[in-house]
Amino acid sequence: MSTLQQRFAKLAAERPDISQADLARATGAKPPSVNAWFSGETKAMKAVTAAKAAQLYGCNTLWLSDGQGPMWPPSRVVPDEGAGPVAQEPSDAPMPSAPAPHAEDGEIIIFQYDVIGGMDTRGKLLLEAEPPGIIKSWRVDREWLQLNVRSYTSLANLCIVTGFGPSMKGMFNPGDPLLMDVGVNRVDHEGVYFFRVGDEGYIKILQRVPEFDGPGFRLRVISKNEDFPPYDLSPKNPHLRIIGKILTVWKSEQY
């Protein structure tokens, strides 16, 4: 098995465009710590730091942290077949903030979306309520994906969001797992979306509503919980960013 130093040497050779300073910014680590990864002084990384570094390089998190599995996910070089596009991705779309899903022993590992990484350099996304714990990853086979997730932009764009807040009770409960496609960054059809306005994050139904006196439209924000009334947003709001579309929801029931 390779050492952490050897793995970073490989990454440096494959991605010479990424500097140690870039890596420090992406992971939040101090420059001496980053230098220790390359020099061999540090033998292991924390899981959350390895995930952020892997996201920057586009490599597999398990390979970087432990030397297990392939260096690159299949989606890096092989497009996923049979996945119907849901929407076109605009050029200013935010980058996925989760390690890309990858195949291991014939199974697909889908990782959680990182709301800290989702804010670029501006800090943690403020949610209407913190989720009661998080679901870090799913391990599924391709048959399960084909049967349960009929349409998505790319395997590399799938990630998990842990449901938060009371406003969507009826569709899901806080702490429930949601499967999101970060390749959908605009609202072409009504659906459930994870979006942010400034620093505030929301999971809501978004519906296109025609303007009363013009050819344009506005976005109606709808909650499943009737205690939260709907309101409208302008799709031209410069502070609005569609992070992804929720494809599938698993609602928990307590017995």
CATH number reported for the structural domain that contains residue 50 in this entry: 1.10.260.40
Asked if pLDDT for residue 30 goes beyond 50, the answer is yes
pLDDT of residue 106: 66
Based on the domain organization, do 50 and 121 belong to the same domain? Answer: no
Asked if pLDDT for residue 208 goes beyond 50, the answer is yes
- Give this prediction's pTM: 0.60
pLDDT of residue 124: 60
Q: At what angle do helices 31-39 and 4-14 cross, to 10 degrees?
A: 100
* 160: in domain: yes
* 78: in domain: no
Number of H-type helices and E-type strands within the chain: 6, 11
Based on the domain organization, do 203 and 235 belong to the same domain? Answer: yes
Based on the domain organization, do 167 and 46 belong to the same domain? Answer: no
Count of structural domains, the chain = 2
Helix (H, G, I), strand (E, B), or coil: what is residue 119?
helix
Which helix (H) or strand (E) element contains residue 219? strand 217-222
Kindly provide the residue ranges of all beta strands, DSSP E only, lying in 8-122, ordered along the sequence: 102-104, 107-111
Based on the domain organization, do 228 and 144 belong to the same domain? Answer: yes
Question: Residue 145: which domain range?
Answer: 89-249
Q: Which of 16-25, 87-96, 167-176, 236-245 has the lowest average pLDDT?
A: 87-96
* 193: in domain: yes
Based on the domain organization, do 43 and 97 belong to the same domain? Answer: no
Based on the domain organization, do 37 and 125 belong to the same domain? Answer: no
Based on the domain organization, do 132 and 180 belong to the same domain? Answer: yes
Asked if pLDDT for residue 93 goes beyond 60, the answer is no
Residue 203 CB coordination number (10 Å): 25
User: Looking up tokens 């009770």, which residue turns up?
Assistant: 169
- Determine the Cα–Cα distance for residues 73 and 60; give it in Å rounded to an integer: 6
Based on the domain organization, do 42 and 119 belong to the same domain? Answer: no
Residue with the bigger pLDDT between 77 and 64: it is 64
Task: Please report, for the domain that includes residue 193, its CATH number.
Answer: 2.10.109.10
pLDDT tens-digit readout, 103-117: 556 678 888 887 654
